Structure 1
Amino acid sequence: MRKLVLAAGGAVVLLAALDAYVVVTVLVDISRTVGVPVNRLERITPVVTGFLLGYIAAMPLLGQLSDRYGRRPLIQLCLAVFALGSVVTALGDTVVVVTAGRALQGIAGGALLPITMALIGDLWDERERPVALGAVGAAQELGSALGPLYGGVVALALGSWQWIFWINLPLVALAAVAVQLAVPRGAPTATGDKRADPAGDKRVDPAGSRRVDPAGSRRVDPAGGRRVDLIGGGLLALALGLLVAGLYNPEPAEAVLPPWGWPLIGLGVLVAAVFVWWEIRSPVRLLDLTGTRKGPLLATLGVSFVTGAALLITMVFVQLAAQTLMGLPALDASLVLARFLLALPVAALAGGALARRLGDRAVTAAGLAVASAGFFVMSAWPLELRDHPIDLGLIIAGAGLGLVIAPVSAAVLRTTGPAQHGVASAAVVVARMMGMLIGVAAVSAWGFYRFQSLTADLDTPLPTGDPAAFARKMAEYTAQVKAALHVEYTEMFLVTGVLCVAGAALALLMPARRVTA
């Protein structure tokens, strides 16, 4: 039965991870459908950030709700919302509708990973649990790597990008049946083995009536009715939403940020500070890491944040560069990105082996330094990419970021006690996804502003009585737009390289080989 549970959990996690990055390949196609011209691609970025915002906001909160109401009902609810979001996205003919559909998908998809990890905590004891968690993690990473390629293949094979989301409906139906058959019903209960206790770090008090944590400070309903940190979840979602809204500029011709940018960013920072204050003092927390050394932990999460930002910036803007500068269709452009995506898992395996010999800190710092070198190579790409070998920069960047994945996860586990490993693992994922969300929003704001400033004096040619003259003017205009896009992309890769250098410096503050909580 546990094998069926693992297969069903891995399947739903894989489905959500595929859809997290599936739009990267077809952003240009979606922009045509919703009426966004290629020189105004800043207006299509909410399709990417909307999913990530929902994903991050829902991940910790819905995981807690599954503690209270049971894993199977929450997984089924998330699958239903995921299917609804797929339908809304497929039917969308405006940016607002497509973004709303993607946000619904993100809310549902963000909950599936922590609920599946918690389910493994319910059914596997401490000795066997890492193998099962590794399988779920592999499904998550596989979906992340294959998402852009999957989107390109489906769009090409079935004729339109909408089919990427229509095909989710039968996949969700199959996943729902598997979950219904395999996942136990009811709320999590203790098994009598403290290692397999679904509360993880909870134990029963001498009276046997209530569970208490190891410090004896917080109590939990024995019926599984654990309190849910709705306030913390709401504060986190509000802070992220304000930051993303402040960074989104639909008219970047005049400035990097819109008129409302700095006020919303300041308010988002304030709400984030309130969230931290609440999490320190609240008896119920989204991410409870009490007793953990905060310095090494925050440094490790910061590295995960930087890695996430570099990952998504690469996925989005290499794909756009291949389609707009090289003139490639979606699938061929995703094959250009495949150089980067294939280097990631290969280097991730190498990073785990190297970290055992050299230590997590050294391998993480070296990986980000290698990644920065790859991005600096990419920032030197010439205008005519079709005639230039672009493999080297993509492979170096992908290999460098891949080296970071395993040592960051290992380091954050070494800064926490065994009872907090599940929470710490979720924190790494949340930090990386936040890096994707904030990083791509911030770098995109700068890049789109640069593009608009470079093309501010261009006038779109209008048809005249002389077709040859019109064709000549249109060719000149297209060449100037292409040159501006080239400057935009290469400068964004340069900024990403600098970001990786900062991440390498931050990695030096990660825990050394032997660090105890």
Structure 2
Amino acid sequence: MAADAHGRTGKVRDTRDQHVSGNVLVSIGALLLGMLLAALDQTIVSTALPTIVSDLGGMDHLSWVVTAYLLAATAATPLWGKLGDQYGRKKLFQTAIVIFLVGSALCGMAQNMPQLIAFRALQGLGGGGLMVLSMAIVGDLVPPRERGRYQGLFGAVFGATSVLGPLLGGLFTEHLSWRWVFYINLPIGAVALVVIATVLRIPSKAARHVIDYLGTFLIAAVATCLVLVASLGGTTWGWGSPQIVGLAVLGVVLAVAFVAVERRAAEPVIPLKLFRIRTFTLSAVISFVVGFAMFGAMTYLPTFLQVVQGVSPTMSGVHMLPMVFGLLLSSTASGQIVSRTGRWKVFPVVGTAVTTLGLLLLHQLDENSSTGEMSSYFFVFGLGLGLVMQVLVLIVQNAVSYEDLGVATSGATFFRSIGASFGVAIFGTIFTNRLGDKLADAFQGTQLPSGISIDGLESDPRGIAELPAALRPPALDAYASSITDVFLYAAPVALLGFVLAWFLREDPLRGSVTAPDLTETLASNPVERSSYDEVCRALSVLGTREGRREIYKTITARAGYDLLPAASWLLLRIRRYGWVEPAVLAERTTVPLTVIIEAARQVEERRLGERRGLDLVLTDQGHEVADRLAQAREESLAELLGDWWGPDRPTDLAQLVKELNNELCGSDREQPHNGSATRVS
């Protein structure tokens, strides 16, 4: 019977464990593909935009190709999260992929700009779900201790697509067709759908929500009205026209209605009480500014590179890389420094200042600017954005109560998304207005060749190549100054962010507030997670970062013992499983046999454990020591939560600390030996 327990039973168990683990890994891979679709789509389109508007006509509608996606994704995000909680995430995730793929296919087949804009909105509707649900499903599949590591993979996908997106967009546009920017989603999405249908098994957990449909509709309608005013005012319709005035009045009325609805909503999209917290309000405005500058510039820089500088779509992607590298470098570094030092105010102040400087430098560019000059300016601009982006999410999480942690995080990224929509729309309006005026001034009194008109040059920049050599420089200069003037007009907005950053109050950071991952930093639409998910990720990241040896060293000292860290680890494992067999334990874990033997010797010498055959079990004194070590670990975790761990702490937070305590003191995946958990000795 004992041999059986060590042999056949163990092998069956091992096979099953590997199978379950394999299924989880394959499922995570499918979720990563889903996230890849959403992440890639926000960067791959930028370098294709100049070709798209040339092909379909309508440079004045360029901004709406981006804005339609952003607005739809932003509005849909909170609904996907709560519907997933209520009706099951697997089916909803599959639905989101299907909507996204249908939108992608239709975008690829679009024959004019209105069609493309409508299909981009459909694509955004699905994209919002991909982002939210893939992250939520990770929480269903893996234990709290592992969550930080897996969510880090999703952050890595965002980092990679930030670099690869502009390059792939340029490659597809140049060597295949701009339509492949959208078609590439179809095979990736199909693979994700098949894998999810066959492999993904999510434990069924239903949470009832009172979904704020009206609040969601109203905030989306307000944003749409204001973006329409920003993008159509002064171009399609005059600023004083009945249409623009009507849209502005409608936006104000809807905003008042939104405030009234949110005051009474059981689960509001954005709880109004958050705006009573000064740090949240200031961070929301600065997030708006960052989104405004970042996406406005990212949308129009490829146009500058391809039209004015004459580089290919692929090379425009390469030219954009210094900005992406600057952003990734400073966002990662600032988040880590803040997590370790607890000091953060310098980053939003310096970040908004450097962003303002970057915009002023971009304004200096013209058709004669060298590659080195452009690269250095792009890098400075990206550096400024990155310094402030991670820190804004982090300080919002630090400023709110536990119950509002999830909604405050999504609120910060929500305002960045709205800022992005405004930035792209307003940049587009300024660009279109300036371009028309400057082309008219450049060719005033000049006879243009037959078939070429100022309106034609304005809607399709390819017409510049058909101009006689003597007439091209004025046309290029008109395009160059129209785009770079946009950056000059954006600089005061960034400067407003700089002024507001000085009013942020630097409260001490809670121990559990760690650098957010890149999905919360780089996502174009909000990342919706519950308060539980946010704390879970933060504590799991802390556990990973400290390192196993340091964890056990800390809790041993806290418990008041002078044991080896490995001896504390061993005692806690025996406490959890009842016994360990040291030689087999070395095979099952990454801890070296020599370390385990030394720890086992100390446990026996201190009479905390005794041998029963090959097994080591606890004595009565060992049970007392192990209980104190477990309590010390729990206290260490609770201490990180600061004032969230008050007398009236929520039960899910207390349960999370207990779960993490158990997992950090001995994982089910690293069982003491190959036998079953109950053993015949």
Give the TM-score normalised by structure 2.
Answer: 0.64
Contact 2:327–2:382 (8 Å) recurs in 1: yes
1:375 counterpart letter in structure 2? L
Contact 1:251–1:258 (8 Å) recurs in 2: no
Deviation string, structure 1 residues 31-80 (Cα, Å, up to 9, x no partner): 122133xxxx1122221111111111111122211122111111100100
Structure 2 residue aligned with 1:28, among 47, 50, 54?
50
Report the equivalent of 2:297: 314
Which deviates further from its counterpart, 61-70 or 79-88? 61-70
Cα 1:473–1:99 change in 2 (3 A) is closer
Which deviates further from its counterpart, 448-457 or 407-416? 448-457
Contact 1:253–1:452 (8 Å) recurs in 2: no
1:171 counterpart letter in structure 2? I
Structure 2 residue aligned with 1:54, among 49, 72, 85?
72
Deviation string, structure 1 residues 81-128 (Cα, Å, up to 9, x no partner): 111001111111100111122111111001222223333444556665
Give the distance between the partners of 1:408 and 1:400, measured in 2 at CA: 13
Cα 1:110–1:472 change in 2 (3 A) is closer
Stretches of structure 2 lacking an aligned partner (at least 5 in a row): 1-20, 452-464, 510-642, 645-681
Does 2:494 align with 1:500?
A: yes
Report the equivalent of 1:376: 360
Report the equivalent of 2:181: 164
Report the equivalent of 1:404: 388
1:153 counterpart letter in structure 2? L
Give the distance between the partners of 1:9 and 1:172, measured in 2 at CA: 10
Cα 1:259–1:28 change in 2 (3 A) is farther
Cα 1:382–1:285 change in 2 (3 A) is same
Structure 2 residue aligned with 1:266, among 239, 245, 249?
249
Does 2:230 align with 1:247?
A: yes
Does 2:208 align with 1:228?
A: no
Cα 1:9–1:472 change in 2 (3 A) is closer
Equivalent residue of 2:382, what SS?
Answer: helix
Alignment of 1:149-188 (within 5 A): 149-157=167-175, 159-185=176-202, 188=205
Give the distance between the partners of 2:316 and 2:238, measured in 1 at CA: 30
Give the distance between the partners of 2:354 and 2:314, measured in 1 at CA: 28
Does 2:448 align with 1:461?
A: yes
Contact 1:69–1:187 (8 Å) recurs in 2: no
Does 2:314 align with 1:331?
A: yes
Equivalent residue of 2:341, what SS?
Answer: helix
Matched length? 472
Contact 2:140–2:202 (8 Å) recurs in 1: no
Give the distance between the partners of 2:240 and 2:140, measured in 1 at CA: 46
Give the distance between the partners of 1:387 and 1:185, measured in 2 at CA: 50
Contact 1:247–1:261 (8 Å) recurs in 2: no
Q: CA deviation at 1:327?
A: 0.9
Cα 1:288–1:329 change in 2 (3 A) is same
Cα 1:237–1:254 change in 2 (3 A) is closer
The two structures, once aligned, show a CA RMSD in angstroms of 2.8
Report the equivalent of 1:283: 266
Cα 1:143–1:511 change in 2 (3 A) is farther
Report the equivalent of 2:118: 100
Does 2:61 align with 1:43?
A: yes
Contact 2:101–2:186 (8 Å) recurs in 1: yes
1:117 counterpart letter in structure 2? M
Report the equivalent of 2:508: 514
Contact 1:246–1:261 (8 Å) recurs in 2: yes
Which deviates further from its counterpart, 354-363 or 368-377? 354-363
Report the equivalent of 2:29: 7
Which deviates further from its counterpart, 483-492 or 137-146? 137-146
Give the distance between the partners of 2:419 and 2:156, measured in 1 at CA: 20
Cα 1:123–1:270 change in 2 (3 A) is farther
1:166 counterpart letter in structure 2? Y
Report the equivalent of 1:81: 99
1:44 counterpart letter in structure 2? L
| Identity within the alignment, % | 28
Alignment of 1:59-138 (within 5 A): 59-123=77-141, 129-138=147-156
Report the equivalent of 1:194: none
Give the distance between the partners of 1:98 and 1:393, measured in 2 at CA: 32
2:492 counterpart letter in structure 1? V
Deviation string, structure 1 residues 358-381 (Cα, Å, up to 9, x no partner): 722221111111121122111112
Equivalent residue of 2:506, what SS?
Answer: coil
Contact 1:289–1:423 (8 Å) recurs in 2: no
Cα 1:460–1:509 change in 2 (3 A) is farther
Does 2:130 align with 1:147?
A: no
Equivalent residue of 1:456, what SS?
Answer: helix
2:46 counterpart letter in structure 1? V
Report the equivalent of 1:468: none
Give the distance between the partners of 2:225 and 2:152, measured in 1 at CA: 34
Give the distance between the partners of 1:250 and 1:23, measured in 2 at CA: 25
Report the equivalent of 2:625: none
Equivalent residue of 2:345, what SS?
Answer: helix
Cα 1:95–1:254 change in 2 (3 A) is closer
Q: CA deviation at 1:138?
A: 4.0
Give the distance between the partners of 1:60 and 1:105, measured in 2 at CA: 16
Cα 1:258–1:442 change in 2 (3 A) is farther
1:102 counterpart letter in structure 2? R
Give the distance between the partners of 1:182 and 1:421, measured in 2 at CA: 32
Give the distance between the partners of 1:263 and 1:126, measured in 2 at CA: 51
Equivalent residue of 1:328, what SS?
Answer: coil
Deviation string, structure 1 residues 465-510 (Cα, Å, up to 9, x no partner): xxxxxx9974444322222222212211122222222112222233
1:248 counterpart letter in structure 2? S
Cα 1:124–1:507 change in 2 (3 A) is farther
Q: CA deviation at 1:329?
A: 1.4
Q: CA deviation at 1:255?
A: 5.2
Give the distance between the partners of 1:482 and 1:315, measured in 2 at CA: 20
Deviation string, structure 1 residues 112-150 (Cα, Å, up to 9, x no partner): 222233334445566654444444344345434532222
Cα 1:382–1:58 change in 2 (3 A) is same
Give the distance between the partners of 1:63 and 1:32, measured in 2 at CA: 38
Contact 1:254–1:449 (8 Å) recurs in 2: no
Q: CA deviation at 1:238?
A: 1.2
Deviation string, structure 1 residues 368-423 (Cα, Å, up to 9, x no partner): 11121122111112342357721221111101111112211110110123343332
2:268 counterpart letter in structure 1? R
Report the equivalent of 2:432: 448
Contact 2:215–2:262 (8 Å) recurs in 1: yes
Give the TM-score normalised by structure 1.
Answer: 0.84
Which deviates further from its counterpart, 505-514 or 128-137? 128-137
Equivalent residue of 2:181, what SS?
Answer: helix
Give the distance between the partners of 2:411 and 2:159, measured in 1 at CA: 16
Contact 2:364–2:484 (8 Å) recurs in 1: yes
Which deviates further from its counterpart, 388-397 or 307-316? 388-397
Structure 2 residue aligned with 1:304, among 287, 293, 310?
287
Stretches of structure 1 lacking an aligned partner (at least 5 in a row): 190-223, 465-470
Give the distance between the partners of 2:353 and 2:52, measured in 1 at CA: 35
1:312 counterpart letter in structure 2? F
Does 2:326 align with 1:343?
A: yes
Which deviates further from its counterpart, 83-92 or 176-185? 176-185
Of structures 1 and 2, the larger Rg is shown by: 2
Which deviates further from its counterpart, 255-264 or 46-55? 255-264
